[in-house]
Amino acid sequence: MNRLLRPRGLYLHHTISRRAKKTEKAFNKMPAEYRALVRYIFPGGELDHLGMSIANLERHGFEVHDVEGWREHYQRTTRLWWERLEANKAKAEAEIGPERTRMWALYLAGCSLAFERGGALVNQTLVSKRRKGPSGLPLTRADLYRA
């Protein structure tokens, strides 16, 4: 991403993540629902914790300007997606089959619950290429998102 970003450009890094644990060893233990998620819904995907995402952004030459938590927004979003899938179940089953339809309904319902309970998080981190001197970005969040 750093190579693709134009000078003075902004990159909004959107992540679904898990809470950090007391140790990285504890964090790396994968509960059954996480194993199912990376096997059936997002093969090869990972759910970092926010600190890991920020550290990786900084390691790859980015400067962090803002971080926002969107967990409660996504709780509502995934619930609405589940409701719409249920309302259009016959069409979905015709398109992708009953097994996949059930799998996605379960995923969306489970995500909504995980976001509601705080077991899953959504964060948006606004970064730019790190450079010496002033960043040239607005000084407040309100001005930053109007830029």
Given the residues 111, 120, 126, 127, select the one marked as catalytic. Answer: 111
- Rounded CA-CA distance 58/24 in Å is 19
C-alpha 114/C-alpha 105 separation (Å) is: 14
Cβ pair 48, 59 in contact under 8 A: no
Beta strands in 93-144 (DSSP E): 120-129
111 assigned to active site: yes
**Dist. CA 108–CA 77, nearest whole Å:** 9
List, by residue number, the catalytic residues: 111
